């Protein structure tokens, strides 16, 4: 590899992206790491394919750069293993024995690209920069978990079209963040992004706010005013929590979407619209339609390009990156000790963050981190400084003594449970699974375990997030 070091990409696209380097030659491994680190990448290096597979089980990477000629697992075998375990992870293979045939075979097997040695350092940096997704600004879009990356990939494709988008997900999952991402990736990104929360405006005012009004249209309308649709001309209008809109206004909204024109309250002329609409809801609109609370024709008008955001408990690899971003955003900015730049979590604090069920999703996570950052007295946030909502991240509740697992099994006492140490979570999961398998209802299962039904629901959510198949 040519040792000439490239400059840091002017886009700063590389910053904070993790790259795994797999190279058995110590000198070359060090040179590769230096090249990528100078370019602004965060780099982890291992000496063989097996170590790379193990590292990928413990950490999320944006890309893998691997040598081909390694023992006992060569780069091609590593590529096949990674394709099966992490199909979305870009892999670049490099070898001193590059041929057209091997390059074609590698690309056929799923390699993102192929670098024959020797190669320029700049070529490596440019290739990795192209493969890694551009990070959003601090505190905005974070996509480290594979499920979130799937949504981001779909959002990028959706952004290229100009049709209406419906984003669904629980409260606090980041629906507005993704709406802004879709706008930013679209051809309308240079125009206005206008957001309106349909749940926050009284029903008798929402129509005027959306469509605008002329002078004298109602008492207090002393001057004409453009509505949100007009304000978003050429850009994007976000209708946040649209399921809260009453049925009468839904009919008027449907007409605007169909005709692509709006008429102000008290007005007589129509205004042609060039607006992309993105709607969000924390409810299932299909269920709202079935219940008679949402118009079916409006649902189909909105549900052209659907995006669903999984709750935070189902994308656990996002938890720590989101928490770290929030910590940098909320840490007190002191010119004396630069705490805003130095604050971090202890290992135990990070474990507690990952273990929480986060029923309030990203919004709750931000609240917990902000509270801890403000009240903390040092540059390291400890586990006991994280104040969670009631029982969302409580330690495992004591089990009733004794708890009968199944006929013929040995009872497990509370004293035995206290001795489980590092295996506590695994044993707790076994006890929970046995309880819900043998109990006639979830309520009875919670009673047998000596916990509340709500706590049982949170623990089951945590188990699903850990990949446990819950019956």
pLDDT in tens, the chain (471 residues): 654 444 333 333 333 457 899 999 888 998 898 888 777 677 889 999 999 998 888 777 888 999 888 888 888 888 888 888 877 788 888 876 555 456 556 666 667 777 877 788 888 888 887 777 544 443 358 898 999 999 999 999 999 889 999 999 999 999 999 999 999 999 999 899 999 999 888 878 899 999 999 999 888 888 888 999 999 999 999 999 999 999 999 999 999 999 999 999 999 999 999 999 999 999 999 999 999 999 999 999 999 999 999 999 999 999 999 999 888 887 765 444 444 446 789 989 999 999 999 999 999 999 999 889 888 877 788 898 998 865 444 444 343 333 333 333 434 333 433 333 334 566 677 778 878 878 878 878 877 777 767 677 767 877 776 667 776
Q: Is the peptide bond before 71 cis (omega within 30 degrees of 0)?
A: no
Q: Give the pairing of strands 271-272 and 113-116.
A: unpaired
- Helix or strand (DSSP H, E) at 363: helix 361-375
- Helix or strand (DSSP H, E) at 430: helix 424-438
Q: How large is the greatest C-alpha to C-alpha distance in the chain, in angstroms?
A: 82
Please count the other Cβ atoms lying within 10 Å of the Cβ belonging to residue 149.
19
Q: Give the pairing of strands 271-272 and 261-262.
A: antiparallel
Q: What is the pLDDT, as a whole number, of residue 10?
A: 35
Q: What is the pLDDT, as a whole number, of residue 147?
A: 93
For residues 92 and 69, what is the distance between their CA atoms, to the nearest angstrom? 13
Q: What is the pLDDT, as a whole number, of residue 108?
A: 62
Q: Which two tokens stand for residue 383?
A: 């586990």
For residues 464 and 471, what is the distance between their CA atoms, to the nearest angstrom? 10
Domain 18-131: which CATH number of 3.20.20.70, 3.40.50.2300, 3.30.10.20, 3.40.190.10: 3.40.50.2300
- Residue 218: strand, helix, or coil: coil
Q: Which two tokens stand for residue 98?
A: 């590059």
**Every domain of the chain and the residues it spans:** 18-131, 146-310, 313-385, 414-465
**Of 345, 241, 242, 342, the residue nearest 295 (C-alpha):** 242
Q: What is the pLDDT, as a whole number, of residue 104?
A: 58
Task: Assign domain 146-310 to its CATH architecture.
Answer: 3-Layer(aba) Sandwich (3.40)
Decide: 227 and 187 in contact? Cβ < 8 Å: no
List the beta bridge partners of residue 212. Answer: 226
Q: Which residue has the tokens 């607006």?
A: 275
Decide: 328 and 363 in contact? Cβ < 8 Å: no
Decide: 369 and 327 in contact? Cβ < 8 Å: yes
For residues 327 and 348, what is the distance between their CA atoms, to the nearest angstrom? 16
Q: Is the peptide bond before 402 cis (omega within 30 degrees of 0)?
A: yes
- Helix or strand (DSSP H, E) at 146: helix 146-160
The CATH class given to the 313-385 domain equals mainly alpha
Residues 6+ apart with CB under 8 A from 355: 393, 462
What is the DSSP code string of 44-61?
Answer: EEESSHHHHHHHHHHS--
For the chain, the C-alpha Rg in angstroms (whole number) is 27
Q: Which two tokens stand for residue 346?
A: 């202890």
Q: What is the pLDDT, as a whole number, of residue 276?
A: 97
Domains 18-131 and 146-310 in one fold: yes
- In degrees rounded to 5, what are phi and psi of residue 278? -120, 125
Decide: 398 and 417 in contact? Cβ < 8 Å: yes
Q: What's 168's DSSP letter?
A: E
What is the DSSP code string of 21-88?
Answer: EE-S-HHHHHHHHHHHHHTT-EEEEESSHHHHHHHHHHS--SEEEEESS-SSS-HHHHHHHHHHH-TT
- In degrees rounded to 5, what are phi and psi of residue 418? -70, -20
List the beta bridge partners of residue 121. Answer: none
**Cα angle value 226/232/235 (rounded, 5°):** 160
Decide: 323 and 353 in contact? Cβ < 8 Å: yes
- Using CA atoms of 75, 77, 83, 88 in order, give the dihedral in degrees to the nearest 10: -10
For residues 54 and 334, what is the distance between their CA atoms, to the nearest angstrom? 40
For residues 50 and 460, what is the distance between their CA atoms, to the nearest angstrom? 33
């Amino acid at each position: 590899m040519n040792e000439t070091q490239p400059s840091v990409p002017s886009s700063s696209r590389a910053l904070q992206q993790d790259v795994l380097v797999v190279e058995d030659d110590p000198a070359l491994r060090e040179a590769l790491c230096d090249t990528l680190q100078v370019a602004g990448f965060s780099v982890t290096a291992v000496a063989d394919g097996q170590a790379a597979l193990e590292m990928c089980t413990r950490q999320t990477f944006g890309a893998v750069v691997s040598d081909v000629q390694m023992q006992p697992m060569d780069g091609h075998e590593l590529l096949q293993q990674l394709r099966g375990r992490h199909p979305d992870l870009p892999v670049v293979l490099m070898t001193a024995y590059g041929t057209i045939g091997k390059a074609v075979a590698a690309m056929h097997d799923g390699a993102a690209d192929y670098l024959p040695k020797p190669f320029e350092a700049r070529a490596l940096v440019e290739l990795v920069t192209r493969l890694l997704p551009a990070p959003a600004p601090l505190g905005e879009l974070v996509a480290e978990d594979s499920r979130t990356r799937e949504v981001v990939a779909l959002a990028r494709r959706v952004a290229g079209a100009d049709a209406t988008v419906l984003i669904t997900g629980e409260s606090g999952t980041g629906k507005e963040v993704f709406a802004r991402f879709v706008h930013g990736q679209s051809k309308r990104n240079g125009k206005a992004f206008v957001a309106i929360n349909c749940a926050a405006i009284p029903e008798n005012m929402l129509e005027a706010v959306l469509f605008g009004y002329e002078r004298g249209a109602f008492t207090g309308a002393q001057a004409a005013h453009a509505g949100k649709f007009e304000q978003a001309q050429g850009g994007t209008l976000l209708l946040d929590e649209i399921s809260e809109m009453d049925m009468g206004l839904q009919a008027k909204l449907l007409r605007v979407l169909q005709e692509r024109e709006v008429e102000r309250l008290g007005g007589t002329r129509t205004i042609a619209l060039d607006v992309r609409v993105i709607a969000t809801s924390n409810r299932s609109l299909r269920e709202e339609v079935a219940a008679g609370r949402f118009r079916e024709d409006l649902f189909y008008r909105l549900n052209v390009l659907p995006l669903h955001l999984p709750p935070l408990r189902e994308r656990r690899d996002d938890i720590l990156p989101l928490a770290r971003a929030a910590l940098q955003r909320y840490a007190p900015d002191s010119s004396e000790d630069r705490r805003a730049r130095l604050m971090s979590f202890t290992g135990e604090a990070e474990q507690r963050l990952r273990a929480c069920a986060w029923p309030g999703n990203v919004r709750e996570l931000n609240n917990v981190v902000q509270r801890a950052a403000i009240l903390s007295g040092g540059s390291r946030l400890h586990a006991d400084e994280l104040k969670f909502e009631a029982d969302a991240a409580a330690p495992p509740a004591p089990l009733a003594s004794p708890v009968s697992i199944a006929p013929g099994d040995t009872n497990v006492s509370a004293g035995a449970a206290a001795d489980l140490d590092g295996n506590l979570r695994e044993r707790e999961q076994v006890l929970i699974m046995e309880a819900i398998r043998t109990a006639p209802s979830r309520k009875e299962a919670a009673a047998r375990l000596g916990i509340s039904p709500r706590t049982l629901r949170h623990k089951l959510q945590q188990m699903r997030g850990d990949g446990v198949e819950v019956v």
